[in-house]
A = this chain, B = another copy of it.
């Protein structure tokens, strides 16, 4: 999407043909800085420190990371080491595993001399597929926004989003934001409430920055505020992204998504989740019971980074010395609270049958068992 009027993706192959460019998202919204990744280690570090984040972008970055690894060493051992190392960077994002499996399949059976080139080709395809998928998500979500807009007779449509499922979380367009950008570009009057999204504040730092640069009207709110807005009819629909969706439509996403889904349900506000199908994990059914929730570093809760009046980026401590903190990164929103899943194949009900029907080739064929269910 646009930065200062210039079209830009969130990840690209540098002109040297030997490295990858990313936007250092830990510096946003205060500084725009591009970073060059030249090695597997650079890439793993960029994912781990969240210079790149967002499930689809993590997948694309990991794919390029395999390429960078194979440029240095195309052996089987190096390939396995690269995939294992990249997989360990973030335990929750299913796209990461998907992208690494794709890369493995693309290079494993090739002679060593061809591997790096094949890896780059497949990584480029993964990046391009992400853009295509998000555009399809955008078109399907646009129809929903158009429907809401029709009911509002010219009044602006108020959306609410949580965290950043924007173009910065993908290669371009974003997932939750693709319908928003398309509706805005089409001239539908709309406005987005952006949860600041502690810890890490990706809403205030990234989504607000994205929307502002693209010219989409928006308002940043504390994470506590969405319920109040919905009680007072100030939100027409919620649209969020997903880090992982189960076979029955439970959605694992940034911590706090569940609370917004509860508020939407309580106030009959439609609650949509936008996701590329690689995010669906058909091997998992009950999201609450089966998805391990990543606990991240304490300092994401104890401190926050911002810009001083003098323009310095400064990290400040928020909690008293000696107060322990907990930092769960994600929660699971049960399918019963979800109005629809916006995928590249259309808007799908959040249940097993609808998901299986939309993605028949992905459904897990479980081994038959004659064990009795206890």
A residues neighboring B (CB under 8 Å): 29-30, 193-194, 196-199, 201, 204-205, 208-209, 211-212, 218-229, 231-232, 254-256, 258-260, 262-263, 266, 288, 293, 301-309, 314-328, 330-332
Contacts and interface: CB of A to CB of B under 8 A. Distances in A.
A304 B304 contact: yes
Contacts of A309: 315, 317
Contact of A218 (B193, B315, B323): B323
A307 B301 contact: no
**Closest 10 A/B residue pairs (Cβ):** A224-B256, A306-B316, A29-B320, A228-B331, A262-B262, A208-B323, A198-B222, A227-B258, A224-B255, A259-B259
Contact of A323 (B212, B323, B330): B212
A224 B163 CA distance: 11
Contacts of A321: 29
A263 to B, nearest CB: 6
Number of copies: 2
A326 B205 CA distance: 16
Contact of A256 (B29, B222, B304, B326): B222
Given A220-B319, A306-B318, A314-B308, A266 B262 contact: yes
Contact of A304 (B205, B302, B318): B318
Nearest to A325: B220
B228 A328 contact: yes
A180 B218 CA distance: 41
B323 A231 contact: no
B197 A224 contact: yes
23 contacts: A30-B317, A193-B326, A194-B323, A209-B323, A219-B326, A220-B301, A225-B331, A227-B256, A227-B262, A227-B331, A228-B293, A228-B332, A229-B328, A231-B288, A232-B288, A258-B263, A259-B259, A259-B262, A306-B316, A306-B317, A308-B315, A308-B316, A309-B317
Given A224-B255, A259-B263, A306-B317, 10 more contacts: A193-B326, A201-B318, A205-B320, A221-B301, A225-B328, A228-B330, A304-B316, A309-B315, A314-B316, A316-B316
Contacts of A304: 304, 306, 316, 318
Contact of A224 (B198, B212, B221, B228): B198
A256 B319 contact: no
Contacts of A255: 222, 224-225, 228
Contacts of A222: 198-199, 223, 255-256, 301, 327
A266 B309 CA distance: 43
Contacts of A262: 227, 259, 262-263, 266
B212 A322 contact: yes
A223 B325 CA distance: 12
Nearest to A317: B307
B259 A227 contact: yes
B326 A223 contact: no
B196 A196 contact: no
